[in-house]
Amino acid sequence: MRRLRKVKIVATLGPASSTYETIRALYDAGADVFRLNMSHGTQEEQRARHTIIRQVEKDVERPIAILADLQGPKLRVGTFANGAEELTEGQAFRLDLTDAPGDATRVTLPHPEIFAALEPGASLLVNDGKIRLKVESCGADYADCIVRVGGTISDRKGVNVPDVVLPLAALSDKDREDLEFACELGVDWLALSFVQRAADVEEGRELVRGRAAIMSKIEKPAAIQAFDEILEASDGIMVARGDLGVELPIQNVPPIQKRMIRKCRAKAKPVIVATQMLESMIESPLPTRAEVSDVATAIYEGADAVMLSAESAAGSYPVEAVRTMDDVAREVEADPNYRQIIAAARTGEKASVADAIVTAAREIAETTDIKAICCFTHSGTTASLVARERPFVSLLALTPLIGTARKLVLSWGLHCVVTDEVDRFKMAVVSAARAARADGFATTEDQIVVTAGVPFNVPGTTNILRVAPCDERLIFKSDPE
């Protein structure tokens, strides 16, 4: 099976999508990557979903990527004696470490690390920003606030602290348990939530020990400030707009999204645009026009992937949501303006032989009648560099390593193929020609571009390019050795 689009679709699994039939239907509708949200469900439920995904992968004979998304440190208020209270603008309200149930004047905030970092004037946002508090005075165990935006506050609502870099460990005890569980399962990507600094990524990488690629979720203002360092330390980025839209002025999010996508592309690292993309499809079989435009914008910007959360995990129309994303992507990518926008945004640090090779591959493919660029890769670096170029021909990533193939599924445009090991470039060309024909990208009458690194099996050695016929008889004839 080959996709008729370049951008990839990530579908979150949950109560509405936990059977083989539904997961297979999601794949058939267009899902390339499945997300296991460790914030919901038990480890055994996630294990069952993982098993089903791998069965679907076996049945469709195509690599499928699995992304495990850690919950991250959750900041929540305590409980109220009456279950909820109504706060009005201008009233005083205290947050403290007292164990007593809350009332209309105070509630427990069981996070001393927040009080240690707060300063007068800081903002506290409760329940996704629906309630806004301003700190008037604070100490090691309290914060006296004024209600700036009132509303109903109830048990265990989440708290955001946008103005402060919190001295929180990036990984809670639950996250550490889930991380080890996910790595033992064999997931391909591990997403770290509420990353604030590059050190958070390095902490996660030490625990992962190379068993999965690291994706940093950008959802805190502090992460925006340290984005370049976080990007350098990460294998990929998720623009998690839900919390960003709470902690930042909402109008700031679109330009931030655009800048992050550009920077990820320049570094040849995949970027996912996530949260609330087709939110109305949780309950409706059709999205709003604004949601369709939102998805289209991310695709026009050159994102590697767009993601569904509750739409596919808990919604009433999970398959329809994936199909809608697929339809939007195919329509956008057929727009002549799409090519112009993508081409105009090509950037990147091109200072190596590998950079020159993949740039040449794109230029050759786009100026001649080439049907596909085929890149042999072990670590995935070569294929990622080719995807960074955003060429308008088909891209095949060929690797003998199933783990590399699965990881690369997330990257823009890559059709991943697991091949036998090769030790000569001629056999790499033959394998590429066979794969291009087998998956419908070319015929024996066509030509392909093949890139690889010689010697083989050495990461980061992309140094050779060949324009070759897609007929191995002609390959052997022209290069009998």
pLDDT in tens, 160-202: 988 888 887 779 999 999 999 999 999 999 999 999 999 999 9
- pLDDT tens-digit readout, 191-203: 999 999 999 999 9
In order of 21, 22, 34, 264, the CA distances from 50 in angstroms are 14, 13, 9, 28
CATH of domain 84-160: 2.40.33.10
pLDDT of residue 460: 66
Out of 94, 157, 267, 275, the active site residue is: 275
Higher pLDDT, 64 or 350: 64
3-state secondary structure of 37: strand
Is the pTM value of this prediction over 0.75?
Answer: yes
Answer whether 111's CB lies under 8 Å from 138's CB: no
Beta-carbon contacts of residue 272 (< 8 Å; ≥ 6 apart): 10, 215, 236, 237, 238, 239, 303, 304, 305, 306, 307, 410
The whole-number average pLDDT for the span 266-272 is 96
Residue 480, pLDDT above cutoff 70: no
Out of 157, 217, 388, 406, the active site residue is: 217
3-state secondary structure of 238: strand
The whole-number average pLDDT for the span 389-416 is 97
Architecture of domain 8-72+170-334: Alpha-Beta Barrel (3.20)
Answer whether 380's CB lies under 8 Å from 459's CB: no
CA dihedral 436, 437, 443, 447 (to 10 degrees): 30
Answer whether 96's CB lies under 8 Å from 108's CB: yes
Q: What is the mean pLDDT of the chain?
A: 94
Residue 394, pLDDT above cutoff 60: yes
Return left, alpha or beta for 209; rule: phi > 0 is left, psi -120 to 50 is alpha, else beta: left
Percentage of the chain lying above the pLDDT 70 cut: 98
Residue 261, pLDDT above cutoff 80: yes
The whole-number average pLDDT for the span 393-404 is 96
Q: Which amino acid appears at position 214 of this protein?
A: I
Ordered DSSP codes for 279-302: GGGGT-SS--HHHHHHHHHHHHTT
- Tokens coding 28: 């058939």
The whole-number average pLDDT for the span 191-219 is 96
In order of 42, 368, 370, 439, the CA distances from 447 in angstroms are 50, 9, 5, 15
Please confirm, yes or no, whether 35 is among the known catalytic residues.
yes
Task: Using pLDDT thresholds of 50, 70 and 90, give the confidence band for residue 347.
Answer: confident
Residue 423, pLDDT above cutoff 90: no
Strands 213-218 and 131-139: unpaired
Please confirm, yes or no, whether 275 is among the known catalytic residues.
yes
- pLDDT tens-digit readout, 290-304: 999 999 999 999 999
The whole-number average pLDDT for the span 358-364 is 94
Task: Using pLDDT thresholds of 50, 70 and 90, give the confidence band for residue 349.
Answer: low
The whole-number average pLDDT for the span 404-431 is 94
Strands 151-154 and 131-139: unpaired
Out of 76, 130, 174, 339, the active site residue is: 76
- Return the minimum-mean-pLDDT range out of 40-44, 147-151, 161-165, 465-469: 161-165
CA dihedral 174, 179, 184, 187 (to 10 degrees): 130
Element (H, E) at 208: helix 198-208
| CA dist., res. 186 & res. 180, Å (int) | 10
Site of tokens 């697929």: 326
Domain boundaries, the chain: 8-72+170-334, 84-160, 353-478
Architecture of domain 353-478: 3-Layer(aba) Sandwich (3.40)
In order of 69, 181, 201, 362, the CA distances from 208 in angstroms are 13, 10, 10, 34
pLDDT of residue 346: 84
CB atoms inside a 10 Å sphere around CB 38: 24
| CA dist., res. 433 & res. 467, Å (int) | 11
Please confirm, yes or no, whether 381 is among the known catalytic residues.
no
17 by Cβ neighbours in 10 Å (0-12 / 13-18 / 19+) ranks as buried
Higher pLDDT, 69 or 355: 69
Ordered DSSP codes for 336-370: HHHHHHHHHT------SHHHHHHHHHHHHHHHTTE
| CA dist., res. 293 & res. 328, Å (int) | 9
- Tokens coding 314: 């808990």
pLDDT of residue 348: 60
- pLDDT tens-digit readout, 100-155: 999 999 999 999 989 999 999 999 999 988 999 999 999 999 999 999 999 999 99
Angle at CA 398, nearest 5°, toward 394 and 403? Answer: 120
Task: Using pLDDT thresholds of 50, 70 and 90, give the confidence band for residue 479.
Answer: low
pLDDT of residue 144: 98
- Tokens coding 160: 């955001």
